[in-house]
């Protein structure tokens, strides 16, 4: 799809997700009226996930779900993108966490739909294919499982993905404040799948606050498995300017590649600008991305040049 047609589609999506004309509230002030379709979709997403959580909780005991059961961190995301080298792509992502009374203080359940490999390897979201406006050529599927927090920093997970394939993870995460304006975040995930065997993903992020509303960040991630040659790696440097009320402008430079023996292959690098803002209250978020990338599929091929556009509507429930 040409960029101009994608811009029209993005504009229509964001306009449709925006608030309806304002109406006076009980106090006489003007408040935005809720779009009926969006409110209905949000209510349906929450009702469906609560019903699912209630059913899962019943497997582990007879304690009623109303005794502390809830759905947290529910997210439904519609994403559309266009890249000159890959064309037009759309995808839907889902994520939710269930607090279950019959597993209280022992475990919680999770459910979602995303790119399988990103979920299993616990790849930082900034390096996901969708964030790089790449087409979703890798398999997306639903996944579900149980997580057992051993402490504030350590968590064990076991889950099922498509075709009832099992995976397991052990996560460790920590953060250190290195000064008044410098923070270091570290995450290590050891995982197992029947395809990859054992593997691990390491993520390291340095964040420095230049002012109350301006941060710079350097994020690095790498994944290695028993059955891979070398490891996959990604790096990103970005500046993030907040304009208050959930509005943010981000400018990022990113690069990714794969090592094999002593050779380091840079597969894709580029620049992107991203604008984020609420579309309705604090639970409907819009995001628009413009990027320019220089991909290369293999060492024998010349590096190409590709513009990219993307739009996201994120609903929290």
What is the DSSP secondary-structure string of 39-65?
HHHHHHHHHHHHHHHHHHHHTT-SS-T
Q: Is 101 helix (H, G, I), strand (E, B) or coil?
A: helix
CATH architecture of 36-316: Beta Barrel (2.40)
What string of pLDDT tens digits covers the 317 residues of the chain? 444 444 344 444 444 444 433 434 444 444 454 567 888 889 888 899 999 899 988 988 889 998 889 899 999 999 998 988 788 888 888 899 999 998 877 899 999 988 888 899 999 988 876 676 665 556 678 899 999 999 999 999 999 987 778 999 999 999 999 988 999 999 999 999 988 899 999 999 999 999 999 999 999 999 999 988 788 999 999 999 999 999 999 999 999 988 875 556 788 899 999 999 999 888 999 999 999 999 887 767 788 898 999 999 999 99
Residue 119, Cβ density class (10 Å: 0-12 exposed, 13-18 middle, ≥19 buried): buried
Domain boundaries, the chain: 36-316
Residues 6+ apart with CB under 8 A from 304: 85, 294, 295, 296
Q: What is the reported pTM?
A: 0.79
């Amino acid at each position: 799809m040409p960029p101009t047609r994608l811009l029209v589609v993005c504009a229509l999506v964001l306009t449709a997700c925006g608030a309806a004309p304002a109406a006076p509230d009980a106090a006489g002030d003007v408040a935005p009226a809720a779009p009926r379709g969006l409110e209905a979709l949000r209510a349906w997403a929450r009702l469906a996930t609560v019903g699912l959580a209630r059913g899962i909780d019943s497997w582990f005991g007879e304690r009623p779900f109303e005794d502390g059961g809830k759905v947290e961190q529910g997210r439904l995301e519609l994403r559309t993108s266009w890249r000159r080298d890959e064309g037009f792509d759309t995808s839907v992502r889902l994520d939710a966490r269930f607090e279950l009374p019959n597993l209280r203080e022992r475990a919680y359940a999770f459910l979602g739909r995303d790119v399988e490999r990103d979920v299993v390897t616990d790849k930082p979201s900034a390096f996901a294919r969708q964030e790089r406006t790449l087409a979703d050529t890798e398999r997306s599927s639903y996944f579900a499982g149980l997580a057992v927090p051993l402490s504030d920093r350590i968590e064990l997970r076991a889950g099922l993905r498509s075709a009832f394939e099992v995976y397991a993870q052990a996560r460790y995460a920590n953060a250190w404040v290195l000064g008044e304006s410098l923070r270091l975040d570290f995450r290590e995930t050891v995982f197992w799948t029947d395809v990859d065997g054992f593997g691990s993903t390491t993520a390291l992020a340095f964040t420095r606050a230049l002012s109350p509303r301006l941060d710079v960040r350097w994020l690095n991630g790498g994944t290695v498995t028993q059955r891979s040659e070398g490891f996959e790696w990604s790096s990103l440097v970005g500046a993030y300017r907040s304009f208050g009320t959930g509005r943010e402008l981000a400018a990022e430079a990113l690069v990714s590649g794969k090592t094999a023996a002593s050779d380091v292959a840079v597969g894709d690098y580029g620049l992107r600008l991203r604008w984020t803002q609420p579309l309705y209250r604090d639970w409907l978020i819009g995001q628009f991305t413009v990027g320019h990338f220089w991909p290369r599929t293999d060492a024998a091929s010349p590096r190409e040049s590709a513009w990219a556009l993307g739009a996201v509507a994120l609903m929290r429930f």
